[in-house]
Every structure is written in C-alpha cells, then in structure tokens.
C-alpha cells in the first residue's frame, strides 16, 4: 500500500514538472510597435517586438495591413511605403504559431505623413549675366511625392546683401563685373516646405561693348570715319576693320577711327567693323556711308 501511494505521488510530481516546463516553453509576445510612426511615402517602416522565449522571433510571421488588407506577409520586419498616400493608416501584426493555435500581437496604427517636396534641378535664365542684364529668372524643377501642386520661392542675395523680393523673377540693380548673385530656392506644397534648399550662384561677367552710331569728316582730301561705341564697364575700346570696299590709309584702334582716301568716283563706303574691349568681348557691325560733300 505504501509503495502505491509513493508511486502515485511520484507520478503527480512528474506531471506537474512537465506541465511547468511546457508552460515555460509556450511562446509569448511581450510587445510589438512601429518605431518610426511619422513616416512619409517612400520611407521605410520598421517594427520592433520581443518574444519569450527569445527563440520565438525566428518563428514569428509579420503581416502589414493597409486599409484593413494585408499588403505584406512574411518574416520581414520592414515595409517600404510605396503604393500609399498621405493619410493612409497602417499597422502590423506579429504572430507565432504554437501547436494548434496562433499567438498574435497588434502594433499601434500609424498615419502616413505629408511628404516634403523635392527640388531636382534649377537654373538661371539668362545663364550668362553681365552688367547689361536687367531681369533674372529662376527655372525650377521638382516634384511632390504625394502629387501635391508645388510653389517655389527664393531668397536672393547680391554681394551677400539680402533682397526683399522672394519671387522667381527679379529686376536687377546696376551691376558691375565681378558682382555675385546667389539664390536659395525653396519649394512648398502649401503645408510642408522642402527640407533641402537648392543653391544657385553666378558672377557678373564683363559686358560686351555696343556700337551706337558713326560719323565721318572730310579733312584734307581724306575721309575720317569715327565709330561711336560705349562700354557699360568703362573699359577701353579698340576698333578693327574686318573688310571694306576701299583700302584704308590707316586704322587707329584706340581712337575708333579709320582714315580713307577721298575718291570722287566712289560715293559709297561699305564697311564691316569690330569693336573689342581688353577682355576680348566684341561686337561687329556693317556700315554703309554715303559720301556727300
């Protein structure tokens, strides 16, 4: 009788031990959460979770839900937000199968945030700026990941002095060679501004001269042709004769003067001249002179 009682107690003890061991081996999900709840379209969502025992992570299945529908299922603990739009609600569910049942834990629900606009490129128009340039415009390129319409605005600086105008086109003040123009370009969808600016920078180059007019004088059986030109930068100018229907007696480049012989049978002078500054900025012009004395 004693042996039977002892055997019964031993069986009960072993059974309890096995039950406790089984309880310890039963997996449990302690928590699960999305670690970046303010994600935008194109960004990567990541889930963090803990299981007991730790080995349970290797058996976990993660289901990602959008509008109540599964959009990704597997062991991957990240989700790239591609086919989503602002305001979409997403959550994940971590599940571990144990025997005939499934243990699950649902994360918090997150909302896809408004994306920042992106500026992909920009340029000045005109691309070459000299002291004669009076208007300057920015041609921007960009897009909004959510498809929102974009507005662009700029912060202008000339020689590091900030201008009040924030539009994409400005009227330039008087400029001189070497002045620097800088624009910081921003984009906005009405709610969110681009987190990266686009910087445009250029320098004012030397302006080419302009030929305004010409005149001639008859002096001692010679025709003196004077080219009237000006340079915005105040550079010294030089005259070159490209071609002429009459051979000149001489060309005085620094005086912008050409001296021709007077011939009674020739009443029309056809000239092509070039005026150049020391930086080789030049302008050419064809001139027709009707000589009447």
Between the alpha carbon of residue 203 and those of residues 11, 76, 153, 171, 175, the distances in Å are: 94, 52, 21, 16, 10
Walk along the chain (293 residues) and give the pLDDT tens digit of each residue: 555 555 555 555 555 544 544 445 678 899 999 999 999 988 999 999 998 877 667 788 999 999 889 999 999 999 999 989 889 999 999 999 887 788 999 999 999 999 899 999 999 999 999 888 999 999 999 999 888 899 999 999 999 899 988 999 999 998 888 899 999 999 999 888 888 889 999 999 888 899 999 998 989 899 999 999 998 888 899 999 999 998 999 999 999 999 999 888 888 889 999 999 998 889 999 988 887 76
| Domain spans in the chain, listed from the N-terminal domain onward | 2-111, 118-203, 210-290
CATH of region 210-290: 2.60.40.1080
Decide which of 1.10.760.10, 3.40.47.10, 1.20.59.10, 2.60.40.10 is the CATH code for 118-203. 2.60.40.10
For residues 139-161, one letter each, b for 16 or more C-beta atoms within 10 angstroms of the residue's C-beta and e for the rest, the string is ebebebbbebebebbbebebeee
Q: Are 194 and 116 in contact (CB under 8 A)?
A: yes
**Same-fold call for 118-203 versus 210-290:** yes
Pairing state of beta strands 69-74 and 78-80? unpaired
- 2-111 under CATH 2.60.40.10, yes or no: yes
The predicted model scores a pTM of 0.61
């Amino acid at each position: 009788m004693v042996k039977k009682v002892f055997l019964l107690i031993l069986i009960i003890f072993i059974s309890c031990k096995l039950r406790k061991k089984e309880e310890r081996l039963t997996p449990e999900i302690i928590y699960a959460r999305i670690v970046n709840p303010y994600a935008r379209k194109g960004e990567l969502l990541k889930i963090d979770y803990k299981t007991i025992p730790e080995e349970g992570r290797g058996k976990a299945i993660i289901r990602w839900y959008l509008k109540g529908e599964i959009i990704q299922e597997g062991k991957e603990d990240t989700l790239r937000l591609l086919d989503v739009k602002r305001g979409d609600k997403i959550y994940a569910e971590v599940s571990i199968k144990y025997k005939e049942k499934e243990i699950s834990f649902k994360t918090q629900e997150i909302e896809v945030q408004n994306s920042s606009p992106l500026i992909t490129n920009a340029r000045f128009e005109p691309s070459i700026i000299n002291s004669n340039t009076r208007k300057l415009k920015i041609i921007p390129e960009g897009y909004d990941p959510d498809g929102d319409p974009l507005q662009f605005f700029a912060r202008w600086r000339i020689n590091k002095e900030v201008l009040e105008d924030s539009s994409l086109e400005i009227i330039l003040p008087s400029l001189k060679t070497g002045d620097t123009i800088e624009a910081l370009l921003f984009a906005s969808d009405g709610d969110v501004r681009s987190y990266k600016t686009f910087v445009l920078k250029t320098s004012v180059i030397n302006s080419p001269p302009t030929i305004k007019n010409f005149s001639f004088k008859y002096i001692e059986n010679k025709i003196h042709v004077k080219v009237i030109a000006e340079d915005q930068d105040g550079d010294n100018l030089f005259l070159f004769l490209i071609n002429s229907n009459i051979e000149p007696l001489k060309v005085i480049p620094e005086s912008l003067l050409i001296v021709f012989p007077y011939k009674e049978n020739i009443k029309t002078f056809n000239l092509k001249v070039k005026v150049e500054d020391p930086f080789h900025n030049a302008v050419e012009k064809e001139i027709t002179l009707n000589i009447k004395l």
